[in-house]
Amino acid sequence: MSKALFLDRDGTLIVDKVYLADPAGVELIPGTIEALRRARDLGFKLFLFTNQSGIGRGYHTIEDTHRVNARMEELIGLGSPLFDAVCIAPEAPDQPAVYRKPSPRFILEMRARHALDPAQSWMVGDSAADIGAGLAAKIKVAAVRTGKKDPATLPEVAANGVPVFDTFAAFAATLS
């Protein structure tokens, strides 16, 4: 079985700019490239799992999100496709959720499709929704402080002993 990282985009890999639709606005969080390289070198499969409610709210299109993701991969420069699979959850909070985190559906589907070992798989993100998705999928969870709020203040973190790291790079440095 393979090991995997499920990674949030905004606030984890790139600076969260709220409803980012313009690829020119993509700004990598320092250390992201090295962290992704390390994870890949250690044999982790990489999955991007991003809520993009701006699509469901009509602020931008799925094509805009694909262009933002492509720009992110270009800036990372580790080859394309970088991710084994990408899940863009377009639902707004008031719409029925299929993939929108904290739904674990994407993680569970990828776990089955790619024969992933839950004991060696992580959901890494900056929000309660990210943490909830990982917990619901019964994989390991790590939170990063590079988003809008300090996840250490979230009840989901304290109640479940979720480790909190300053950055994704700090988390990746602990992988083996």
129 Cβ contact list (under 8 Å, min separation 6): 51, 100, 101, 102
Report DSSP letters for 113-149, one per residue.
HTTEEEEEEEEEESSHHHHHHHHHTTSEEEEESSSSS
Please state, in angstroms and rounded to a whole number, the distance separating the CA atoms of residues 51 and 145: 18
10 is catalytic: yes
Among candidate residues 47, 154, 49, 156, the one with its CA nearest the CA of residue 100: 49
Please state, in angstroms and rounded to a whole number, the distance separating the CA atoms of residues 60 and 81: 23
Q: Where do the H-state alpha helices sit in the chain? A: 32-41, 53-56, 62-76, 105-113, 128-136, 155-160, 168-172
Query: Could you give the residue numbers annotated as active site?
Result: 8, 10
